[in-house]
Amino acid sequence: MPHLLTGGRKRLLSLVGGLLVGLIVAEAVLQLADLQPERYRPPRWSAHDGQSFRRSDMWADGLIKQDSPFAGVEMGQYTPGARFRVEYASNPHGHLDTDNGVEMTINALGLRGPDVARDKPDGTLRILGLGDSFTFGVGVRDEDTFLRRLENRLDQKDHPLEVLNAGTQGYNTRDQQITLEHRWLGLEPDLVLVTFYLNDVYRDESAVAFWNNGEGDGVYLQPTGLARHSRLVDWCQYSWRARELRRRMIVHYSQAYFVDPGSFFSSGNKAAQHMDWSASRTALERIVELSRAHGFRVGLAIFPELMSLENYPFGAIHDFVRAACDEIGLPAHDLLPAFSNKDARQLWVHPTDHHPNQVAHGIAAVSLETFVRSLLPADTSSAP
């Protein structure tokens, strides 16, 4: 028996020793190869103060945004003539500047892009794009936004055409309707293209909204405890926490207001009263009324959430919005088929910013071309 115990201890010690050696080797490999989980710092914003770019946020100094004069528009409006930049921790797709940033500009009218005349030139068709940060084009150059690309694709020799980008970060459909009614109608658009992003159905509260960019992928998870000193422990800790985040995200997006919005909003559920859909639909109805009163045409583009495009979880929301558009007589074009089965990660500006990058904007422009042509006045709708 003593010999058996001794043999058992030796095997146990050998096993423990082998395990320790393996862990030490694994730690050494991770250290030498400088391998660690994918995590980044958040994007950094800066604005031009007339002399140079300096750190800023949307509101702090008025260099990027200012309060809106229109009641109910809580997200303000861009400062005319603003120049600002967003800088990321890396340049995964090679489309950013050498400092991993990109500059965005606001013209004298408060629109994204180069200056245009307030008064529409004779013989010119004007398309006004309304939307949020997807339409504005956060993280991409002006010439890469889908509205600028659409302008190039629609260019007609006999009828000059302008596409104006009124997309504004943080805007919902009601904000777009108010600013159209009280600010942009003076630009005399021939066509208003409203871009509907899925979070326009919900309020931007963590309890009901889409998760922040990168949040569900764990790109902001930082090591704690022993993981701050060991690459191996860091990998284990990160893997467990990222898996838990993904589990929570799946549970979140399995709730009724995502998978069956029609039933949810018609059920009288009190939670539905705390979401944006009722105000959003009312705003769309008002935009249709304005189009009839002021003689412009209107269409709506539905932009998908750029996640799980190979097994998309939010198709019911697209169906719900399209059905509402049919009911109020608003022509709608769903961009989802153009993005189906694409690798969502290749369409993000950055792992910390899931806004559409220049590739995604190109896909949207191609998909929208035929739809927009169908809405243009009949004598200019033919291809050049």
Count CB atoms within 10 A of the CB of residue 342. 16
Q: What does the CA dihedral 171, 167, 355, 92 come to, rounded to 10 degrees?
A: -140
Check pLDDT > 80 for residue 328.
Answer: yes
Q: What is the pTM of this model?
A: 0.90
* 106, amino acid identity: I
Q: What is the mean pLDDT of the chain?
A: 89
Task: Map residue 191 onto helix, strand or coil.
Answer: strand
How far is the C-alpha of 70 from the C-alpha of 84, rounded, in Å? 24
According to DSSP H, which parts of the chain are helical?
A: 2-32, 133-136, 146-154, 173-179, 231-252, 256-259, 261-266, 277-294, 315-328, 336-339, 358-375
pLDDT at residue number 116: 94
Check pLDDT > 50 for residue 10.
Answer: yes
Tokens describing residue 353: 């910013």
Task: Map residue 115 onto helix, strand or coil.
Answer: coil
pLDDT at residue number 379: 57
Read off the pLDDT of residues 241-269 as tens digits, 9 standing for 90 and up. 888 988 888 888 888 889 999 888 887 77
Read off the pLDDT of residues 296-324 as tens digits, 9 standing for 90 and up. 999 999 999 999 999 999 999 999 999 99
Read off the pLDDT of residues 26-39 as tens digits, 9 standing for 90 and up. 778 777 888 888 88
Residues 348-359 have a mean pLDDT of 95
Residues 188-214 have a mean pLDDT of 84
Q: How many Cα atoms sit within 13 Å of 189 on the Cβ side? A: 27
How far is the C-alpha of 162 from the C-alpha of 370, rounded, in Å? 17
Which of the four pLDDT bands, split at 50, 70 and 90, describes residue 382?
Answer: very low
Check pLDDT > 50 for residue 383.
Answer: no
Which of the four pLDDT bands, split at 50, 70 and 90, describes residue 213?
Answer: confident
